[in-house]
Structure 1
Amino acid sequence: MSPPDPTPTYTPEQITALFIDAAREGDLPLLTEFIDAGMAIDAQDSRGYTALIVATYNGRHEAAELLLTRGADPDQRDAKGATALAGVAFKGDPSMARLLVSHGATVDARNTVGRTPLLFAIMFGRDDMARLLLEAGADPDATDGEGASPRILAARQDRADLFP
Protein backbone atom coordinates (compact mmCIF):
# COMPACT_ATOMS: atom_id res chain seq x y z
CA MET A 1 0.00 0.00 0.00
CA SER A 2 1.37 3.40 -0.98
CA PRO A 3 1.40 6.34 1.44
CA PRO A 4 -1.23 9.06 0.94
CA ASP A 5 -0.28 11.98 -1.27
CA PRO A 6 0.83 14.80 1.09
CA THR A 7 -0.20 17.45 -1.43
CA PRO A 8 -3.85 18.44 -0.98
CA THR A 9 -6.10 18.30 -4.00
CA TYR A 10 -8.59 21.10 -4.54
CA THR A 11 -11.57 21.29 -6.84
CA PRO A 12 -11.83 24.28 -9.19
CA GLU A 13 -14.65 25.61 -6.99
CA GLN A 14 -12.45 25.41 -3.90
CA ILE A 15 -9.60 27.19 -5.68
CA THR A 16 -11.98 29.96 -6.75
CA ALA A 17 -13.25 30.24 -3.17
CA LEU A 18 -9.68 30.58 -1.87
CA PHE A 19 -8.94 33.29 -4.45
CA ILE A 20 -12.09 35.21 -3.55
CA ASP A 21 -11.34 34.82 0.17
CA ALA A 22 -7.89 36.32 -0.43
CA ALA A 23 -9.61 39.33 -1.99
CA ARG A 24 -12.09 39.56 0.90
CA GLU A 25 -9.17 39.64 3.34
CA GLY A 26 -7.07 41.98 1.20
CA ASP A 27 -4.23 39.44 1.11
CA LEU A 28 -2.11 41.02 -1.65
CA PRO A 29 0.70 38.42 -1.67
CA LEU A 30 -1.78 35.55 -2.02
CA LEU A 31 -3.83 37.37 -4.66
CA THR A 32 -0.63 38.01 -6.60
CA GLU A 33 0.36 34.35 -6.33
CA PHE A 34 -3.01 33.24 -7.68
CA ILE A 35 -2.89 35.70 -10.58
CA ASP A 36 0.74 34.89 -11.43
CA ALA A 37 -0.14 31.18 -11.41
CA GLY A 38 -2.79 31.79 -14.08
CA MET A 39 -5.97 32.16 -12.03
CA ALA A 40 -8.79 33.57 -14.14
CA ILE A 41 -9.04 37.07 -12.68
CA ASP A 42 -12.83 37.22 -13.17
CA ALA A 43 -13.51 33.71 -11.83
CA GLN A 44 -16.95 33.55 -10.19
CA ASP A 45 -18.29 31.55 -7.29
CA SER A 46 -21.78 30.04 -7.16
CA ARG A 47 -23.31 33.48 -6.43
CA GLY A 48 -21.45 35.05 -9.30
CA TYR A 49 -19.12 36.96 -7.00
CA THR A 50 -15.66 37.75 -8.29
CA ALA A 51 -12.55 38.72 -6.36
CA LEU A 52 -13.10 42.33 -7.45
CA ILE A 53 -16.75 42.41 -6.33
CA VAL A 54 -15.77 41.03 -2.93
CA ALA A 55 -12.68 43.23 -2.50
CA THR A 56 -14.60 46.41 -3.32
CA TYR A 57 -17.60 45.51 -1.17
CA ASN A 58 -15.29 44.89 1.79
CA GLY A 59 -13.32 48.10 1.34
CA ARG A 60 -10.07 46.42 0.30
CA HIS A 61 -8.70 49.29 -1.80
CA GLU A 62 -5.23 47.86 -2.43
CA ALA A 63 -6.66 44.49 -3.44
CA ALA A 64 -9.14 46.17 -5.77
CA GLU A 65 -6.38 48.27 -7.33
CA LEU A 66 -4.26 45.15 -7.86
CA LEU A 67 -7.14 43.27 -9.46
CA LEU A 68 -8.06 46.17 -11.72
CA THR A 69 -4.49 46.79 -12.85
CA ARG A 70 -4.12 43.07 -13.56
CA GLY A 71 -7.19 43.09 -15.79
CA ALA A 72 -10.29 42.49 -13.68
CA ASP A 73 -13.49 43.57 -15.44
CA PRO A 74 -15.10 46.38 -13.41
CA ASP A 75 -18.44 45.56 -15.04
CA GLN A 76 -18.51 41.82 -14.30
CA ARG A 77 -21.91 40.96 -12.86
CA ASP A 78 -22.92 38.63 -10.07
CA ALA A 79 -25.87 36.24 -10.25
CA LYS A 80 -28.29 39.12 -9.55
CA GLY A 81 -26.76 41.27 -12.26
CA ALA A 82 -25.01 43.62 -9.84
CA THR A 83 -21.57 45.05 -10.58
CA ALA A 84 -18.90 46.02 -8.07
CA LEU A 85 -20.04 49.65 -8.38
CA ALA A 86 -23.56 48.70 -7.30
CA GLY A 87 -22.21 47.09 -4.13
CA VAL A 88 -19.99 50.07 -3.44
CA ALA A 89 -22.93 52.44 -3.96
CA PHE A 90 -24.98 50.42 -1.48
CA LYS A 91 -22.14 50.53 1.06
CA GLY A 92 -21.41 54.22 0.43
CA ASP A 93 -17.65 54.12 -0.27
CA PRO A 94 -16.91 57.10 -2.56
CA SER A 95 -13.16 56.45 -2.80
CA MET A 96 -13.81 52.89 -4.01
CA ALA A 97 -16.38 54.22 -6.47
CA ARG A 98 -13.81 56.68 -7.82
CA LEU A 99 -11.35 53.80 -8.26
CA LEU A 100 -13.90 51.73 -10.18
CA VAL A 101 -15.01 54.64 -12.36
CA SER A 102 -11.38 55.51 -13.12
CA HIS A 103 -10.97 51.94 -14.41
CA GLY A 104 -13.97 52.19 -16.70
CA ALA A 105 -16.87 50.96 -14.56
CA THR A 106 -20.22 51.71 -16.21
CA VAL A 107 -21.99 54.19 -13.93
CA ASP A 108 -25.47 53.21 -15.14
CA ALA A 109 -25.00 49.41 -15.12
CA ARG A 110 -28.39 47.86 -14.34
CA ASN A 111 -28.96 44.74 -12.28
CA THR A 112 -31.57 42.13 -13.20
CA VAL A 113 -34.43 44.35 -11.96
CA GLY A 114 -33.07 47.46 -13.65
CA ARG A 115 -31.56 49.21 -10.64
CA THR A 116 -28.46 51.34 -11.19
CA PRO A 117 -25.73 52.23 -8.68
CA LEU A 118 -27.23 55.73 -8.40
CA LEU A 119 -30.60 54.28 -7.48
CA PHE A 120 -28.93 52.19 -4.75
CA ALA A 121 -27.15 55.28 -3.43
CA ILE A 122 -30.47 57.15 -3.24
CA MET A 123 -32.34 54.19 -1.75
CA PHE A 124 -29.86 53.87 1.11
CA GLY A 125 -29.25 57.56 1.81
CA ARG A 126 -25.70 57.67 0.46
CA ASP A 127 -25.77 61.32 -0.64
CA ASP A 128 -22.00 61.68 -1.12
CA MET A 129 -22.07 58.59 -3.32
CA ALA A 130 -25.03 59.94 -5.27
CA ARG A 131 -23.21 63.22 -5.93
CA LEU A 132 -20.10 61.37 -7.07
CA LEU A 133 -22.10 59.16 -9.45
CA LEU A 134 -23.93 62.18 -10.84
CA GLU A 135 -20.59 63.92 -11.45
CA ALA A 136 -19.43 60.75 -13.23
CA GLY A 137 -22.41 60.99 -15.58
CA ALA A 138 -25.02 58.76 -13.96
CA ASP A 139 -28.54 59.20 -15.34
CA PRO A 140 -30.91 60.52 -12.63
CA ASP A 141 -33.91 59.53 -14.74
CA ALA A 142 -33.02 55.89 -15.47
CA THR A 143 -36.01 53.86 -14.29
CA ASP A 144 -35.92 50.39 -12.81
CA GLY A 145 -38.39 47.60 -13.50
CA GLU A 146 -40.92 49.22 -11.17
CA GLY A 147 -40.70 52.63 -12.84
CA ALA A 148 -38.67 54.28 -10.08
CA SER A 149 -35.78 56.56 -10.95
CA PRO A 150 -33.19 58.15 -8.66
CA ARG A 151 -34.84 61.56 -9.16
CA ILE A 152 -38.32 60.23 -8.32
CA LEU A 153 -37.08 58.33 -5.28
CA ALA A 154 -35.13 61.33 -3.98
CA ALA A 155 -38.24 63.51 -4.33
CA ARG A 156 -40.27 60.95 -2.35
CA GLN A 157 -37.60 61.09 0.38
CA ASP A 158 -37.61 64.92 0.40
CA ARG A 159 -34.05 64.93 -0.98
CA ALA A 160 -34.69 66.43 -4.42
CA ASP A 161 -31.91 68.94 -3.70
CA LEU A 162 -29.44 66.26 -4.82
CA PHE A 163 -30.39 66.99 -8.41
CA PRO A 164 -29.69 70.25 -10.23
Structure 2
Amino acid sequence: MKNIIHITFYLLLLMTSSLVMALDSHKKDSGKLISLFFDAARIGNNEVLNEFISAGFPMNERNAQSYTALMVTAYYGHESSVELLLNKGANACIEDKRGNTALMGALLKGEIKIARKLYNANCSYGDHRNKSGLSLDEFATLFGQQKVLDSFNK
Protein backbone atom coordinates (compact mmCIF):
# COMPACT_ATOMS: atom_id res chain seq x y z
CA MET A 1 0.00 0.00 0.00
CA LYS A 2 2.86 2.34 0.87
CA ASN A 3 4.39 1.72 -2.54
CA ILE A 4 1.16 2.59 -4.31
CA ILE A 5 0.94 5.86 -2.39
CA HIS A 6 4.57 6.69 -3.21
CA ILE A 7 4.09 5.89 -6.89
CA THR A 8 0.87 7.92 -7.03
CA PHE A 9 2.57 10.84 -5.30
CA TYR A 10 5.54 10.61 -7.69
CA LEU A 11 3.23 10.55 -10.74
CA LEU A 12 1.30 13.55 -9.45
CA LEU A 13 4.57 15.38 -8.90
CA LEU A 14 5.67 14.61 -12.47
CA MET A 15 2.33 15.72 -13.89
CA THR A 16 2.43 18.96 -11.89
CA SER A 17 5.95 19.78 -13.02
CA SER A 18 4.97 19.02 -16.64
CA LEU A 19 1.98 21.33 -16.31
CA VAL A 20 4.14 24.12 -14.88
CA MET A 21 6.62 23.71 -17.74
CA ALA A 22 3.77 23.81 -20.28
CA LEU A 23 2.39 26.99 -18.70
CA ASP A 24 5.84 28.60 -18.78
CA SER A 25 6.16 27.66 -22.44
CA HIS A 26 2.72 29.14 -23.15
CA LYS A 27 3.68 32.38 -21.37
CA LYS A 28 6.86 32.63 -23.45
CA ASP A 29 4.94 32.02 -26.69
CA SER A 30 2.30 34.54 -25.66
CA GLY A 31 5.00 37.07 -24.80
CA LYS A 32 6.59 36.59 -28.22
CA LEU A 33 3.26 37.20 -29.96
CA ILE A 34 2.63 40.34 -27.93
CA SER A 35 6.13 41.55 -28.75
CA LEU A 36 5.61 40.94 -32.49
CA PHE A 37 2.25 42.73 -32.40
CA PHE A 38 3.78 45.79 -30.75
CA ASP A 39 6.77 45.73 -33.10
CA ALA A 40 4.30 45.93 -35.99
CA ALA A 41 2.52 48.84 -34.27
CA ARG A 42 5.80 50.64 -33.61
CA ILE A 43 6.85 50.55 -37.27
CA GLY A 44 3.34 50.94 -38.69
CA ASN A 45 3.20 47.57 -40.45
CA ASN A 46 -0.49 47.39 -41.33
CA GLU A 47 -0.18 44.03 -43.05
CA VAL A 48 1.07 42.36 -39.87
CA LEU A 49 -1.37 44.27 -37.65
CA ASN A 50 -4.25 43.16 -39.86
CA GLU A 51 -3.08 39.53 -39.74
CA PHE A 52 -3.05 39.63 -35.94
CA ILE A 53 -6.49 41.23 -35.80
CA SER A 54 -7.94 38.81 -38.38
CA ALA A 55 -6.60 35.90 -36.33
CA GLY A 56 -8.49 37.20 -33.28
CA PHE A 57 -5.58 38.75 -31.39
CA PRO A 58 -6.96 41.20 -28.78
CA MET A 59 -6.17 44.60 -30.29
CA ASN A 60 -6.54 46.35 -26.93
CA GLU A 61 -3.81 44.15 -25.42
CA ARG A 62 -1.33 46.12 -23.32
CA ASN A 63 2.43 45.80 -23.44
CA ALA A 64 4.73 45.81 -20.41
CA GLN A 65 4.62 49.63 -20.32
CA SER A 66 0.76 49.54 -20.27
CA TYR A 67 0.38 50.93 -23.80
CA THR A 68 -2.03 49.62 -26.40
CA ALA A 69 -1.14 49.25 -30.08
CA LEU A 70 -3.29 52.31 -30.78
CA MET A 71 -1.22 54.36 -28.33
CA VAL A 72 2.00 53.15 -29.93
CA THR A 73 0.89 53.83 -33.52
CA ALA A 74 -0.37 57.29 -32.54
CA TYR A 75 2.85 58.16 -30.70
CA TYR A 76 5.02 57.05 -33.62
CA GLY A 77 2.90 58.92 -36.16
CA HIS A 78 1.52 56.02 -38.19
CA GLU A 79 -1.74 57.56 -39.36
CA SER A 80 -2.85 54.64 -41.53
CA SER A 81 -2.21 52.22 -38.66
CA VAL A 82 -4.27 54.40 -36.32
CA GLU A 83 -7.10 54.36 -38.89
CA LEU A 84 -6.84 50.59 -39.27
CA LEU A 85 -6.99 49.99 -35.53
CA LEU A 86 -9.87 52.43 -35.01
CA ASN A 87 -11.82 50.92 -37.92
CA LYS A 88 -11.33 47.44 -36.45
CA GLY A 89 -12.67 48.61 -33.08
CA ALA A 90 -9.65 49.62 -31.01
CA ASN A 91 -10.64 51.51 -27.87
CA ALA A 92 -9.25 55.06 -28.02
CA CYS A 93 -10.41 55.76 -24.47
CA ILE A 94 -8.03 53.33 -22.73
CA GLU A 95 -5.53 54.97 -20.39
CA ASP A 96 -1.96 53.89 -19.77
CA LYS A 97 -0.57 53.50 -16.24
CA ARG A 98 -0.08 57.28 -16.08
CA GLY A 99 -3.68 57.98 -17.06
CA ASN A 100 -2.77 59.19 -20.56
CA THR A 101 -4.70 58.23 -23.67
CA ALA A 102 -3.63 57.73 -27.29
CA LEU A 103 -4.88 61.27 -27.98
CA MET A 104 -2.54 62.69 -25.36
CA GLY A 105 0.37 60.79 -26.92
CA ALA A 106 -0.48 62.17 -30.36
CA LEU A 107 -0.68 65.72 -28.98
CA LEU A 108 2.62 65.27 -27.17
CA LYS A 109 4.31 64.27 -30.43
CA GLY A 110 2.55 66.95 -32.50
CA GLU A 111 0.71 64.39 -34.64
CA ILE A 112 -2.20 66.69 -35.48
CA LYS A 113 -4.06 64.54 -38.05
CA ILE A 114 -3.87 61.55 -35.75
CA ALA A 115 -4.93 63.63 -32.75
CA ARG A 116 -8.01 64.81 -34.67
CA LYS A 117 -9.01 61.22 -35.50
CA LEU A 118 -8.57 60.19 -31.88
CA TYR A 119 -10.45 63.24 -30.61
CA ASN A 120 -13.39 62.23 -32.81
CA ALA A 121 -13.37 58.69 -31.39
CA ASN A 122 -16.15 59.53 -28.92
CA CYS A 123 -14.25 59.41 -25.65
CA SER A 124 -15.50 61.52 -22.80
CA TYR A 125 -12.59 63.85 -22.04
CA GLY A 126 -14.59 66.44 -20.10
CA ASP A 127 -13.73 65.26 -16.59
CA HIS A 128 -10.75 63.08 -17.50
CA ARG A 129 -7.51 63.78 -15.65
CA ASN A 130 -4.30 61.81 -15.93
CA LYS A 131 -2.39 60.63 -12.86
CA SER A 132 -0.52 63.96 -12.78
CA GLY A 133 -3.88 65.67 -12.35
CA LEU A 134 -3.89 67.25 -15.82
CA SER A 135 -7.07 67.55 -17.85
CA LEU A 136 -6.86 67.18 -21.63
CA ASP A 137 -6.87 70.99 -22.00
CA GLU A 138 -4.10 71.40 -19.42
CA PHE A 139 -2.07 68.62 -21.05
CA ALA A 140 -2.44 70.26 -24.47
CA THR A 141 -1.43 73.64 -23.03
CA LEU A 142 1.62 72.14 -21.31
CA PHE A 143 2.85 70.78 -24.64
CA GLY A 144 1.95 73.83 -26.74
CA GLN A 145 -1.04 72.20 -28.43
CA GLN A 146 -3.96 74.17 -26.97
CA LYS A 147 -4.77 75.93 -30.27
CA VAL A 148 -4.75 72.56 -32.00
CA LEU A 149 -7.13 71.12 -29.43
CA ASP A 150 -9.36 74.20 -29.68
CA SER A 151 -9.54 73.75 -33.47
CA PHE A 152 -11.06 70.28 -32.98
CA ASN A 153 -14.10 71.86 -31.33
CA LYS A 154 -14.91 73.97 -34.38
Q: Relative to total residues, which structure has the larger helix share, 1 or 2? A: 2
> Residue 135 of structure 1: CA displacement?
4.1
Q: Does 1:112 find its partner at 2:112?
A: no
Q: How do 1:1-164 and structure 2 match up within 5 A?
A: 10-108=28-126, 109-126=128-145, 130-137=146-153
The whole-number CA distance in structure 2 between the counterparts of 1:80 and 1:51 is 16
Aligned to 1:4: none
Instruction: Provide runs of 4+ in structure 1 moved above 4 Å.
Output: none
1:39-74 alpha-carbon deviations (Å, 9 max, x no partner): 001000111111000000000000000000000000
The whole-number CA distance in structure 2 between the counterparts of 1:11 and 1:80 is 28
Bigger radius of gyration: 2
Aligned residues: 127
TM-score, normalisation: structure 1 = 0.70
SS class of match (1:62): helix
Where structure 1 has 5 or more consecutive residues not aligned to the other structure, the ranges are 1-8, 138-164
| One-letter amino acid of the counterpart of residue 75, structure 1 | C
The whole-number CA distance in structure 2 between the counterparts of 1:12 and 1:118 is 38
Aligned to 1:154: none
The whole-number CA distance in structure 1 between the counterparts of 2:125 and 2:75 is 16
SS class of match (2:129): coil
SS class of match (1:98): helix
1:65-115 alpha-carbon deviations (Å, 9 max, x no partner): 000000000011111111001111111221111111222244443211221
The whole-number CA distance in structure 2 between the counterparts of 1:79 and 1:31 is 23
The whole-number CA distance in structure 2 between the counterparts of 1:113 and 1:17 is 28
The whole-number CA distance in structure 1 between the counterparts of 2:123 and 2:107 is 12
Where structure 2 has 5 or more consecutive residues not aligned to the other structure, the ranges are 1-25
The whole-number CA distance in structure 2 between the counterparts of 1:79 and 1:11 is 25
Q: Which moved more, 1:11-20 or 1:65-74?
A: 11-20
| One-letter amino acid of the counterpart of residue 66, structure 1 | L
The percentage of aligned residue pairs carrying the same residue is 36
Aligned to 1:161: none
The whole-number CA distance in structure 2 between the counterparts of 1:15 and 1:116 is 34
